[in-house]
Amino acid sequence: MTELPGSRHSAFQVLSGMLSLPAGARVGIGPGLAALVLVAIVVASICAPLYVPHDPLAMDAMARLRPPSSEHLLGTDPYGRDIFSRVMTGGRVSLLIGVGAAIVSVTVGLAIGLVAGFFRTVDGIVMRIMDSLMAIPAILLAIALVALNGPSLGSVIIAITVPEVPRVVRLVRSVVLSAREEPYVEAAIALGSSMPKILLQHLMPNTLAPLIVQGTYICASAILIEAILSFLGAGVSTEIPTWGNIMAEGRSYFQIKPGLIFWPGLLLSLCILCINLLGDTARDLLDPRMKKREG
């Protein structure tokens, strides 16, 4: 074998940018493209009621499982509902769950993590509880929570949040633990700064960059878990079209009507892909190891 090549080609740079391989501060067109696609999906989903040709809930017994036509762009489902209208509307709830779960888990995790990272007395107990929560597979915990609390939007968000919180707590705690060893924190102690002040002004800002990254990953995984919950029959009520619900209903028909799984699956995957790519880009840009110590 030979030495590592230091190859650089412009086509490669474009690709590596798209996949957001760590490349210093350089951001290729990839993340830009991902952001563009994501914005398009988000806007299309939010504005769906303004342009979809059919009521996504209107059933039509005479028009079941129609092939794509000018009237039904992607055909109709087993209840005669317009698939295009349902898929575009379905994004709204899926995205709402993703963003909601990300915000709730980051907020709750930040609060618990800061306390656990700084006060040794509570640290042991809190971390044992977090370890225990992490030992339960996320999907299992989430379906159990939804099964017990009912298929409302709120309970789905909580069900997705509960397994994510321990991961955020661990992240925040590890950042706080390493930051509190920094000489500038010790200097602040020597300067007589109070514990809450050190916690909020010196330590918390260190957690923001990794939390933004973690938040994007949680958002992506929440959308994914919502789909899986719906698929297993433990998601939001089937009257609300979500990507997951549409795919769940397509299960029994996937040999005759693969579009029921394919189209929402495509949009959902594209959406998650873009969020993950943006998360990777953010991580590479915010990772302190990538920054040079310049004098």
Partner 1 sequence: MKFKSRDLSAARRILKIRDLRVGLSGRPDAEPVLDGIDLDIHAGETHCLVGESGSGKSVTSLATMGLLPKDALEVQGGQIDLEGFEITSATPQQMRRLRAQRIAMIFQEPMTALNPVLRVGEQIEEVLAMHTDLSQSDAKARTLDIMEQVHLPDVDRIYAAFPHQLSGGQRQRIMIAMALVLDPDLLIADEPTTALDVTTQLQILKLIEEMQERHGTAVLFITHDMGVVAEIADTVSVMQKGRIVERAPIRTLLTAPKEEYTRKLLTAVPNLAPRAGRAAPDAAAVLRVEGLEMTYGGGWFRTAGGVRAAQDVTFDIAPGRTLGIVGESGSGKSTVARCIMRLIDPTGGEVVVAGTEIAQMSRRQLGPHRKHFQIVFQDPYRSLNPRWTVARSLCEGPINFGTPKAEAMARAAELLELVELPRDAMTRYPHQFSGGQRQRIAIARAVAMQPDLLVADEAVSALDVSVQAQVLGLLEDVQKRFGIAMLFITHDLRVAAQICDDVVVMQKGRVVEQGAATDVLTNPRHSYTRSLIEAAPGRNWDFANFRALGGAQAEQGTTA
Partner 2 sequence: MIAYILKRLLATIPVLLIVAIFVFLLLRLTPGDPAAILAGDAATPAQLERIRDRLGLNDPLHVQFFTWFGQMLQGDLGTSLISNTDVVDMVAARLGPTINIALMTIVISVLLAVPMGVIAAWRHRTWIDVAVMSFSVLGFSVPVFVIGYILIQIFAIELRWVPVQGYAAPTDGVGAFFSRAILPSLTLATIYIALIARMTRASMLEVLGEDYVRTARAKGVRENVVLFRHALRNAAVPILTIIGTGFALLISGVVVTESVFNIPGIGRLTVDAILARDYPVIQAMILLTAGIYVMVNLVVDVSYSFFDPRIRY
| 113, 207 contact by CB (below 8 A) | yes
Interface residue list for partner 1 (CB under 8 A)? 2-6, 8, 182-184, 186-194, 197, 202, 205, 293-295
Residue 44 binds partner 2, judged by CB under 8 A: no
Residue 15 binds partner 2, judged by CB under 8 A: yes
Separation of first and last alpha carbons in the chain? 39
Distance CA 234, CA 197 (A): 44
Residue 25 binds partner 2, judged by CB under 8 A: no
The 117-146 contact track toward partner 2, x by CB under 8 A, reads -----------xx-xxxxxxxxxxx-xxx-
The 181-220 contact track toward partner 2, x by CB under 8 A, reads ---------------------------------------x
By a kind-dependent CB cut-off of 5 to 8 A, residue 19 interacts, out of partner 2, partner 1, none, with partner 2
Three-state SS at 70:
coil
Extract long-range pairs of 191-200: CB within 8 Å, 24+ residues apart: 195/118, 199/114, 199/118
By a kind-dependent CB cut-off of 5 to 8 A, residue 196 interacts, out of partner 1, partner 2, none, with none
Options 102, 272, 282, 285; binder of partner 2; rule CB under 8 A: 272
Q: Tell which residue, 67, 85, 63, has the closest CA to residue 75.
A: 67
Q: CA–CA distance from 188 to each of 81, 119, 203 (Å)?
A: 64, 17, 11
Tokens in use for 48?
């769906």
Burial status of residue 218 (CB atoms within 10 A of its CB: 0-12, 13-18, 19 or more): buried
**Smallest distance, partner 1 to C-beta of residue 3, A:** 4
Question: Number of residues in contact with partner 2, rule: CB under 8 A?
Answer: 55
Point out which residues bind partner 2 (CB under 8 A).
1-5, 7-8, 12, 15-16, 19, 21-23, 128-129, 131-141, 143-145, 147-149, 220, 224, 227-228, 231-234, 247, 254-255, 258, 261, 265, 268-270, 272-273, 276-277, 280
